[in-house]
Amino acid sequence: MEIYVGNLPYDTDDEALREIFGEYGTVDNIKIIINHDTGRSKGYAFVAMNDNEEAERAIEALDGNDIGGRPAKVNESRPREQRGEQRGEQRGYGNNNNNNRNFRKKRY
């Protein structure tokens, strides 16, 4: 099971998460999400645990608990939302006959 861990301090590293989640079972993989522009953490990570019972125990025990001075948000990871046309349509840029109302006309 993949676990989402949010509201992490930016200096949290793999070793710290492995130690925290290792108390509840075997940690298979940790992926801290990095901002490409700054090179620092975005404040969330994904922790993979092979045993679902161990993962559920970790989620139950750690959600809302202090990790590095901040209350962590810990839950089962959900699939990423669709990108592209569906996302654009939700924002009003898709094929919904707006006739480009959302764009400013050039004035000469």
11: nearest Cα among 56, 43, 53: 43
Distance of CA 56 to the CA centre of its chain: 18
Question: Is pLDDT of 105 > 90?
Answer: no
pTM of the predicted model as reported, rounded to 2 decimal places: 0.73
Predicted confidence (pLDDT) per residue in 71-81, tens digit: 999 999 988 87
Q: Which domains does the chain have, with CATH numbers?
A: 2-76 (3.30.70.330)
Please enumerate in sequence order all residues whose Cβ is within 8 A of that of 22, keeping only pairs 6 or more positions apart, or say none. none
For range 89-104, the mean pLDDT: 56
Average pLDDT over residues 87-92: 54
pLDDT at 8 over 80: yes
